[in-house]
Amino acid sequence: MRSRSTVSDAMRHYLELQQDLGGDEVIFDAPVDVRAALRASDPAPRAETVAPVAPVAPVAPRSGIGLSAQVARATAAGRPAAAVAAAATEAAPDRPAAAARQGPPPIPGPGLTIVSPRSAEMPAWASLDEIAAIVRECRKCPLCETRTHAVPGEGNPSARLMVVGEGPGESEDLSGRPFVGRAGDLLNKMLEAIAVPRAEAFIANVVKCRPPKNRVPLPDERQACLPYLGRQVALVQPKVLLALGGTAAEAMLGIKKSLGALRLQVHSWNGIPLIVTYHPAALLRNPDWKRPAWDDLRIVRQLLDRDT
């Protein structure tokens, strides 16, 4: 059995994850400081023998009642918060997937169907490593003049989910890796929330070099990089594509529309379902968008779970 500290850490991590994503799991039915209650009821070990505490049965989740609400109700009823939290989080590693699958929005109808015109014309690069090496030496557009490092992309070469952003920012340019820094941290939480750890996804951008001052990539810059992205998708063969932000969606779908007009549809990009959602950087600027982004993520989870 896991120690109290391990279980309480798992509960804390789960609650923070849900709070960051604007989920329903941190709604309290009564005022309670869960962390204070945990600290108060989980004292440091003492030398003398301590009488065993009767085990607390797992709290059966009720519709719309998150873990923190369960702890709050139990605390109000006089039950030890730490024991309730421990019992309720015994299956904490499974909670993200369960939360993503609980009461999800319906899978939306079909959107745009795109067959990339470059897919038949792109060079038949044999591997993701070969593409990465070519990207690092690429001089096809002016972005190469100002980059520190190109950012080809990274992740599981057989990923079921491929995430596509707009382009590298300052942290990515310095590291050569996609989605690091604050936006990367939030993306990691977004992926974890639907039980797809970052290491199991493949993460790339439409353009592989940072636009100066993080401006939006120009059309010719996007066109120069799209063959790299197209071939990466062809090699990975993900089950679902997730486009982060309007620029990535416009580049992949070949249409200029607002993000709102492109969300809540299952587009098809070279035969692969494509879902559009908010860029993590946008969610950091406007937390009100986290709730609709959570709906988008749960649609992605449903598509990943489908048999076909």
Whole-angstrom CA distances from 84 to 39, 52, 70, 95, 125 are 13, 16, 8, 16, 55
- What residues are paired with 273 via a beta bridge? 268
Q: Is the pLDDT of residue 88 over 80?
A: no
pLDDT tens figures, 242-251: 999 999 999 9
Average of pLDDT values for 26-48?
46
Q: Is the pLDDT of residue 104 over 90?
A: no
Average of pLDDT values for 131-151?
96
CA-wise closest residue to 21 among 92, 100, 98: 100
Q: Mean pLDDT of all residues in the chain?
A: 78
Q: Using 50, 70 and 90 to split pLDDT, how confident is the model at 5?
A: low
Give φ, ψ of 129 to 5 degrees.
-65, -40
CA-wise closest residue to 125 among 3, 274, 228, 264: 228
Q: Give the whole-angstrom CA distance, residue 211 versus residue 73.
A: 51
Give the start-to-end residue ranges of the domains of the chain.
Answer: 4-96, 110-305
What single-letter amino acid sits at 219? P
The proportion of the chain whose per-residue pLDDT surpasses 70, expressed as a percent, equals 66
Q: Give the whole-angstrom CA distance, residue 180 versus residue 223.
A: 24
pLDDT tens figures, 191-238: 999 999 999 999 999 999 999 999 999 999 999 999 999 999 999 999
- Extract the tokens encoding 225: 């990089």
Q: Give me the residue label for tokens 């030496």.
A: 137
Tell me the fold of 110-305: Uracil-DNA Glycosylase, subunit E (3.40.470)
Residue pair 100/294 in contact by the 8 Å Cβ criterion: no
Q: How many CA atoms lie within 13 A of 263 on its CB side?
A: 19
Q: Would you call 143 exposed, middle or buried from its count of C-beta atoms within 10 A (0-12, 13-18, 19+)?
A: buried
Residue pair 5/47 in contact by the 8 Å Cβ criterion: no
Neighbours of 218 (CB within 10 A): 14
Q: Give me the residue label for tokens 């969610």.
A: 283
Residues in CB range of 75: below 8 A, 6 or more apart: 30, 32, 37, 81, 84
